[in-house]
Structure 1
Amino acid sequence: MAKNDLIGGALWDAYSNKVSERMDNPTHLGVLTQKDADAKNAKLIVADYGAESCGDAVRLYWLVDKDDKIIDAKFKSFGCGTAIASSDMMVELCLGKRVQDAVKITNLDVEYALRDDPNTPAVPGQKMHCSVMAYDVIKKAAGLYLGKNAEDFEEEIIVCECARVSLATIREVIKLNDLKTVEEITQYTKAGGFCKSCIRSGGHEKREYYLVDILAEVRTQMEQEALKTKVNRAANGQLSFQDMTIAQKVKAVDKTIDEHIRPMLMMDGGDMEILDIKDTSDDFIDVYIRYMGACDGCASAATGTLYAIEEVLKQHLADNIRVMPI
């Protein structure tokens, strides 16, 4: 199915090719029965999990051999395409693992495995919660096999019990999507969308982590990392023109003029100087100049020469530069 057949192109492009393929052609969709288990001398495990936050549900089938290895697995999903793709990948990650190792698979592992490249999320942030269901049904199956409660395997810190959203997921989604408000966190993960006790302290249930605090912490980390990157780039001479101070911008413009513009002007007995540089409210960087020598009063100073100067500065420094002769 083509990516634009069901959803608008821009939204659909937010899904990886692996996700779109598994939505339409899941590899591990199906059912395992006791007959299948008997044929392979294995134990049949059937686990169900339903996500009240979105109405999706999944049933997981495992065949586990005498060495606790998952030798076959299938799933049935009752939900959206993202839930199907996540469940399909979850089953694939389980296959061949011992139950004790499979239970360590997290929703972030499932999402990461669905990426086409390591740095691009596999699904829109709003659908991140779909992989949580796959994470929970694994624990349910492991609990049934090992005679434990699913909660006994909980290694992730769950912030929102209603939507089963972990601390790691919330932090990751904030960073990936540059979220700035709690409302955006809820939109992207469903955390805080139900009983709301995880949003801030003072709700009906006391919690260890609250969305407002997580957001503040992650935003602070992001700002510190951005500042560190900026400092490192500046130290290596890689600071972008937009991020420079006014003094640094003047120096950069002057250097570019010396190398690419001033020799041309001086050939005709002219010259120029920089008077000021200002960042404008409409996202332009205005460079104020004054013509000198033969350039002062020249007919082309407001046309051809001006355009040539502006084009050189755009090419070498930033494409939102405007040159303003005075």
Structure 2
Amino acid sequence: MSKDTLLGGSLWEAYSKKVQQRMDNPTHLGVITQEEADSRGLKLIVADYGAEACGDAVRLYWLIDSNDIIIDAKFKSFGCGTAIASSDMMVELCLGKKVQDAVKITNLDVEFALRDDPDSPAVPGQKMHCSVMAYDVIKKAAAMYLGKNPEDFEDEIIVCECARVSLGTIKEVIKLNDLKTVEEITNYTKAGAFCKSCIKPGGHEEREYYLVDILRDTRLEMEAESVRENAAKLSLGELGFADMTTVQKVKAIDKVIDENIRPMLIMDGGNMEIIDIKETNDSHIDVYIRYLGACNGCASGYSGTLFAIEAILQEKLAENIRVLPI
């Protein structure tokens, strides 16, 4: 039975030709023995890594010289064809590099190297975990050679294993770009673009952090920080009218009215109060007022007095203020 029959023509086409070729004819598949290492005067490192999500496993062999350079490398893979192709490319990317540089190879480097062209993914999104497995076995081998823990090479919490995107990066991008949807996070970082398990609970692999929760919590942090900043600016008299909350705007308008308008109205036996403030779709701020005392029913309240109130508020606070008596 052909691969097209097993996978279905359209699904098979989701794999690059490079992946298909390395599935069937991996270049670096094999074993390196201690006897070979001794005969060549090189240090042998053998690292194993298994992916619990799919049951795949890979064994990586490195031969390293006295300058920490990976002179030769082989692999054995137990799993699907994508795991074989990813492991084969991973080994190729390691060859000739110092161990300290090889550990910088990411799963995205492996996937990108397997593409037929830069804009077309090498594998379906649900198979990105195979290149992650290749990345993790590199860390395991480097840790063994350098006498470290694999976690020493990971200084941040990884949320999206497929794209190797950290929690810190996601939160920073949300804040810097004022992102409001998970789709925007994916567009900016590629997190959630592949197997999608990190987007929300219920995917094929349980995660500690999900994009929906990170977005919600980060937006709450942003709002809380904005409130704190606005409160500090308000206390110093530095907060712009447009940045104020509705309550703060009412207080600011009342302050201007108390200082510039209300004394004039009281002299004529009248007064006024603010009923409501609304921001309109055409970027105006409508201030609804009610006249009191002698001002109530006065014709000037809808002409000269109204224009004076509006002009003072526009001058003192914002040019887009409109005053509407009710």
Q: Is the 8 A contact 2:199 2:212 kept in 1?
A: no
Matches of 1:110 and 1:215, distance apart in 2:
32
Q: Which residue of 1 aligns with 2:137?
A: 137
Corresponding residue number in structure 2 for 1:52: 52
- Mapped contact 1:3–1:20 kept (Cα < 8 A): no
Q: Choose from 178, 193, 197 the match for 1:186.
A: 197
Q: What secondary structure sits across from 1:141 in the alignment?
A: helix
Q: Which has the larger radius of gyration?
A: 2
Distance 1:32 1:191, change over 3 A: farther
SS in 1 for 2:196: helix
Matched with 1:281 is none
The normalised TM-score by structure 2 is 0.54
Measure, in 2, the Cα distance between the counterparts of 1:151 and 1:215.
28
Aligned to 2:208: 197
Partner of 1:106: 106
Moved over 6 A (4+): 168-173, 181-184, 187-191
Relative distance call for 1:14 and 1:182 in structure 2 (3 A) is: closer
SS in 1 for 2:115: coil
Matching residue of 1:166 = 164
8 Å CA contact 2:125, 2:193 repeated in 1: no
1:226 maps to what in 2? none
2:11 maps to 1:11: yes
Cα distance between partner residues in 2 of 1:16 and 1:215: 37
Distance in 2, Cα, partners of 1:92 & 1:41: 21
Which structure 2 segments of 5+ residues have no match?
171-182, 219-326
1:262-301 matched pairs, under 5 angstroms: none
Q: Please report how far the alpha carbon of residue 212 of structure 1 lies from its aligned counterpart in structure 2 after TM superposition.
A: 4.5
Determine if the alignment matches structure 1 residue 25 to structure 2 residue 40: no
Q: Distance in 1 between matches of 2:93 and 2:79?
A: 20
Deviations, residues 79-107 of structure 1 (Å, cap 9, x unaligned): 11111100000000000000000000000
Change (3 A) 1:211 1:136: farther
**Gap regions ≥5 residues in structure 1:** 200-209, 218-326
State the Cα deviation string for residues 42-66 of structure 1 (Å, max 9, x = none): 0000000111111111100000001
Q: Output the CA distance in 2 between the equivalents of 1:47 and 1:62.
A: 9
Task: Give aligned pairs, total.
Answer: 203
**TM-score of the superposed pair, with normalisation by structure 1:** 0.54
Aligned residue for 1:90, secondary structure, equals helix
Q: Name the % identity.
A: 67
Q: Is the 8 A contact 1:22 1:88 kept in 2?
A: yes
The amino acid that maps onto 1:85 is A
Letter in 1 for 2:145: Y
1:138-197, Cα deviation, whole Å (9 max, x unpaired): 01000000101111112564116xx68732799999449x99x99971299999544443
Tell me the secondary structure at the aligned position of residue 73 of structure 2.
Answer: strand
RMSD: 3.7
Distance in 1, Cα, partners of 2:81 & 2:184: 22
